[in-house]
Structures are given as structure tokens and as C-alpha cells.
Amino acid sequence: MRLRKFRAASMREALAQVRRELGKDALIVATKPVRSGLLKEQIEVTAAIDEDEPEAAISMAFGERAPARAPVPSLSDEDIEKVMAPMRSELRSLRGFVRTLAGQRRPDSKLKDEIVSLQRTVMSIAARHGVADETELATLARGKHLCKSSKARVVVMVGPTGVGKTTTIAKLAARAALIQRKSVHIISLDTYRVGATAQIRSFGKLMDVPVTVAANPEEQMNDALNQARRADLVLVDTAGRSIRDLRAPKRIEAALATLPRPEVHLAIAAGTSRFDIDTIVARYAPLGVNRLVFTKVDETGDLAELIRAPTRLDIPVSYITTGQRVPEDLEDADQERLLMLAMQGFELAEVA
């Protein structure tokens, strides 16, 4: 597979370069805005071309009729992914193109038809191979309150390592401080992860939000709370540990014993399996988990646990995160939105 990067003033120009130099079979791997000089901004598109890509998969990706061939009894997960991957890439490029056009003029009907056609194709494949059972998910969600907003003054973020707790804390702090104009104070208990203290202090400095680091929480928590006594919102960041470290939640439990009626949000990556989600919840149950936060929604293709987990565990979802931008990629959980994501996946839900 050959990877190339293209830069242009607009998405249209970048895609034209891709088609011109790599051909119509090129796959769009990623798109992002990049700085060009001090004030100018360009679009960078990473594209790939694989000369060994199966002809049928490429034809389906671009809406063409695949050549007739003998029927295959079933497709493996790897085969399905080969078909889905180029369509997901094409949807990403189209979505970026639509967003670029949104500020200029309404997209033409041909572009809309192409998006709808791709959406139907992907949904058809997903339905045939059990990617998400829409009837099951709708039935699970019916009559249930799967979402609950955060109301407490003290919010504690817990969860295993690598799920994005600190970034989520930064998003919550930025939204409260910069958009809602609340006074915010961050208390960090994470002195375990290398660079954690520097990271949270950098976030706080950028947002003009005070940060108190409690290296020894059992002894320093009261002092940290005293420093945060005037804040409208106190966000407590905790250290992430492996779900197999049985002692980690106990350390946090001892540290949180002095907090006044905290709301405990358990952060879980959206692509986590059912077994691991249930294991994580069981590990952190002694902390009195009030809410679930699903992070990295944009990084997985199967989002059915957004509906199944809160239904199965009877714990509502407070927030979802959909990227690294602070605070833009943070959403209050909404039942209709969760259902759409669980049924369609992130890419199709964004296009829709």
C-alpha cells in the first residue's frame, strides 16, 4: 500500500489532486486542517492506493456494479472489513467536503445522492452480517432512561488507563469555564502516570483554571478542597490503572472518602467489549459509580454498547466524547443520539 499526503486550500482541490495523481481507486485515510504560515489554513488529505485491493470491493466503494462471480457461502470478518473500509474512507472525505461547502453554498443534488447511496450500501452490509441489530437496540432503549445529565458540584472521573479521563476533564473544564462562565477548580490525584501532572497543569493554564495536585490524597484532600471552596464546579481527575489491578479502586475510594456528595463518572472507551465493560464496572462499583462516560466514540465501528451497557448495568450515560478537540468533541448524552450512533456507527451518523 502506498501512502501520499496532499495539501490544498480547500477539500475540493485536495480531492482533485488525489484523483489526478493516484486515480479513482485511492482511499482517503485521513483529513485535517493544517497551518500554512501565520494566519492561513489548508486542508491536508492522506490517501492510499493498494494495487492488490479486490476489484469487487473497490467497485462497491465507488457505487459501481461488481462483476458477477460465483456465490460465496459467507464472508469472514476480514472480508467484511475489506469491503467496509474503502466506503468508510469515502464517507469521511465526503463529509469533509460537505462541511467545506456548508460555508459557501448548498451541496448539489448529485453529491447528496452519492452520500445517500453510500449510506444505504453500508447499512445493507451491516444488516446482513449482524453489525448492529436495530430492532434489538430499539427494543432495549424503549421506555428506558439511558441518559442523565451531571448536576453535582463535585465530579470525579475514574476509569482504567488510556481511556482519556484527563482529556475529558479538560473538555468539561473548558466548557464550564469558557462557555458557561463558571468558576472551575481541578484537583488531580494522578501522580502515577508519567507526565500526567504537567499535562493537567498545561490544560489549566490554557483555560485559566486553577489546578491542585494532591500527591498524597489521603493527607492532602482536605487542603485541596479548601483551595477549591469558592468554585462552582470541582473536577477530580484520578489515576488510571489496569482493570486487573484490584488495588487501584481501593486507593481511590480512600482518597474520595472526604469528598462532599461527589458524582462519580466512570470513563470507558466506546469500543470496549461487553465482558471488559462488565469487569470494569464491577471493579469500580465500590466507589459508587453514578454515571458512564463513553470516550473515543469516533475510534470504533461497533457502538452497540452505548445502548446495551446502560440498559444491562442500570447506570445512565452522562457524556460521550468524539475526538481530541477541547472542548468541541464533548457531548451531553442524548438517548436519540445514542440510539443513532449504536445503529449506524459514528461515520454514518455524522453524515446523516
Tens digit of each residue's pLDDT (9 = 90 or more) over 242-299: 666 666 677 778 778 888 889 999 999 999 999 999 999 998 988 899 999 999 999 8
Tens digits of residue pLDDT in 84-115:
665 566 666 666 655 555 555 555 666 666 66
On whether both 164 and 288 belong to a single domain, the answer is: yes
pLDDT of residue 330: 94
On whether both 202 and 290 belong to a single domain, the answer is: yes
Site of grid cell 464546579: 233
| Bigger pLDDT: 240 vs 60 | 240
Instruction: Quote the longest CA-to-CA distance of the chain.
Output: 73
Residue 66 has pLDDT above 60, yes or no: no
Pairing between β-strand 154-158 and β-strand 27-36 as defined by DSSP bridges: unpaired
CA distance 111 to 115: 6
Count: domains in the chain? 2
Residue type present at position 18:
V
On the CB side of 148, how many CA atoms lie within 13 Å of its CA? 17
Q: Peptide bond before 217: cis, by omega within 30 degrees of 0? A: no
CA distance 189 to 252: 9
146 within a domain of the structure (yes/no): no
Q: What is the mean pLDDT of residues 37-44?
A: 69
201 within a domain of the structure (yes/no): yes
Mean pLDDT in the chain?
77
109 within a domain of the structure (yes/no): yes
Strand partners of residue 157: 237, 265
On whether both 112 and 164 belong to a single domain, the answer is: no
Which H or E run contains 251?
helix 248-256
147 within a domain of the structure (yes/no): no
On whether both 316 and 180 belong to a single domain, the answer is: yes
Residue 311 has pLDDT above 60, yes or no: yes
Q: In the structure grid, which three cell numbers stand for residue 201, read together?
A: 497543569
Model pTM score: 0.62
Residue 182 has pLDDT above 90, yes or no: yes
Residue type present at position 97:
F
* Percent of the chain whose predicted confidence (pLDDT) is above 90: 30
Three-state DSSP class for 34?
Answer: strand
pLDDT of residue 273: 92
- How confident is residue 156, by pLDDT bands cut at 50, 70 and 90? very high
Residue 334 has pLDDT above 80, yes or no: yes
Q: Which value, to the nearest 10 degrees, does the dihedral of the CA atoms of residues 137, 139, 141, 143 take?
A: 180
pLDDT of residue 69: 42
Q: What is the mean pLDDT of residues 127-138?
A: 62
Q: In the structure grid, which three cell numbers stand for residue 151, read together?
A: 448536576
Q: Among 10-19, 97-106, 129-138, 261-270, where is mean pLDDT lowest?
A: 97-106
136 within a domain of the structure (yes/no): no
* Neighbour-count burial for 168-185, b at 16+ CB within 10 Å, e otherwise: bbbbbbbbbbbeeeeebb
Q: Domain of 208?
A: 154-351
CA distance 60 to 121: 8
- How confident is residue 68, by pLDDT bands cut at 50, 70 and 90? very low
On whether both 9 and 119 belong to a single domain, the answer is: yes
On whether both 204 and 347 belong to a single domain, the answer is: yes
Q: What is the CATH number of the domain that holds 291?
A: 3.40.50.300
